[in-house]
Structure 1
Amino acid sequence: MGMGGGRAGRRPASRVEQRRRTVPAARPAEGAIRLPSEPESVSVGRRWLRGVLGREFGDGHPVIGDALQALSEVLSNAVLYGDGLHVRVTYTVDGEWVEVAVHNEGRPGGTRPQKQAPAAPDAESGRGLDLVEAFSQQWGIKMLPMDEVKVWFRVRFG
């Protein structure tokens, strides 16, 4: 054995080299929660997303408020109009985007969610997807196998 406890002929790795080997490569943060398809799940989903995004960005980051507003609309629609027993909320933080999606089971031959005509100023409903559009930079609806509906939105944090 040579000096410093290393093998003969090899120098010990520097602290920087050691750190490079032990720090995992940067990867997107992501997570999911499955909730019963009932109105109380909207507040549970909001608390969950607030917690995970707060850990990612710090509690006061403006992206959190926008994401929570959009989630409230999408999750409320899934609970009110979806046919499944459960909904699933997912999030991914990648690059400069946070993508949030709400998945709900559909019924065979069910209809795809659609943006409605503009709501009357005094209407109590009908603004959900307009609000999602207002609080996000991108959003969409995707029909998945087994009649599952995915409504997603993206907010920029970078």
Structure 2
Amino acid sequence: MSYTREFPGWADQIRQARTWADRVMATHTGYAIPDDTAAAAVLCLSEAATNALRYTASGRGGVFKVTIKLDRRRVTIEVDDEGRPAGGTIPFVRPITPMAQHGRGMALIDHYTHTWGPLPRPRTGVTFTLTWQDTRARKTAPAPPAAP
């Protein structure tokens, strides 16, 4: 199942995108998304949307678009931005120093997601995927053997 929504390129819309994504994952029937996975997905969405506003034309009067794709054990989120006037942007993880005030967004995405990368051209932005064990299909592990 796929859900898409476009947001104006204003800072307050990052909160709106987070709220919308959280609601989509909480109310989508048929998929039991663990709370920690949904929280990580929303955090990563927030970071990707912040980057779209900070580094691309999306934050200069443009828009950003969020697509959420759900299946039984996976959520994929795409954040399309409007790129730079002279071409697209390519997300990357910056080296982090303890005193740095910026530059942690892609490091958080890299940490919490199973895969991530730039959107395929001609689109610009980032896509990432989080996976989990399907709790409905999980079987109880056998008890360990008793100690002698």
Please give the TM-score of this superposition, normalised by the length of structure 1.
Answer: 0.73
Deviations 1:42-101 (A, max 9, x none): 100000000000013568622111101111110100011111311000010124210001
Q: Secondary structure at the match of 1:144?
A: coil
1:82 to 56, 76, 79: 56
CA contact (8 A) 2:66 2:78 kept: yes
- Runs of 4+ aligned residues of structure 1 deviating over 6 Å after TM superposition are none
Partner of 2:79: 102
CA contact (8 A) 2:91 2:117 kept: no
Partner of 1:30: 2
- Give the counterpart letter for 2:63 in structure 1: H
Matched, 1:150 2:125: yes
Please give the TM-score of this superposition, normalised by the length of structure 2.
Answer: 0.78
Pick closer, same or farther for the CA change 1:59–1:96 going to 2, 3 Å.
closer
State the distance in 2 between where 1:97 and 1:58 align.
Answer: 10
Partner of 2:38: 64
Give the number of aligned pairs: 128
Structure with a larger share of its residues in helix: 1
Structure 2 counterparts to residues 9-48 of structure 1, below 5 A: 29-48=1-20
Q: Which runs of 5+ in 1 are unaligned?
A: 1-28
Pick closer, same or farther for the CA change 1:80–1:135 going to 2, 3 Å.
same
- Between the aligned residues of both structures, percent identity stands at 26
Partner of 2:112: 135
